């Protein structure tokens, strides 16, 4: 993950990576740029059957004053928790 991160974000450092995912629990990468004093949460795209389960959970879910893709909303809530 560190090698890929350096290719796409020169100067960034890997803080933590959870590359495995399950339905509605995404894999993610935490990175930072000390120079820019910024932190990043990076969510890889669809990589495995668990990610497909999240993708196919596409019913509309109420979020705030609007709606969102249910699988993505559940994944975002898991990250927020």
Spatial contact of 51 and 28, defined as CB atoms under 8 Å apart = no
Largest Cα–Cα distance of the chain, in whole Å? 41
> Tell me, what DSSP letter sits at residue 27?
-
pLDDT of residue 8: 81
Give buried/exposed letters for 63-75 (b at 16+ CB in 10 A, else e).
eeeeeebbbbbbb
Q: What are the phi and psi torsion angles at 7 (to 5°)?
A: -70, -40
pLDDT of residue 4: 78
pLDDT in tens, 25-61: 998 999 999 999 999 998 888 888 988 999 999 999 9
Can you give the pTM of this predicted structure? 0.75
- Per-residue pLDDT averaged across 10-35, rounded? 91
């Amino acid at each position: 993950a560190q090698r890929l991160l350096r290719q796409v974000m020169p100067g960034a450092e890997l803080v933590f990576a959870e590359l495995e995912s399950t339905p509605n629990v995404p894999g993610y990468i935490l990175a930072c740029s000390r120079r820019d004093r910024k932190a990043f949460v990076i969510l890889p795209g669809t990589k495995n059957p668990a990610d497909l389960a999240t993708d196919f959970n596409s019913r509309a879910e109420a979020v705030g004053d609007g709606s969102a893709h249910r699988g993505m909303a559940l994944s975002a809530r898991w990250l927020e928790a």
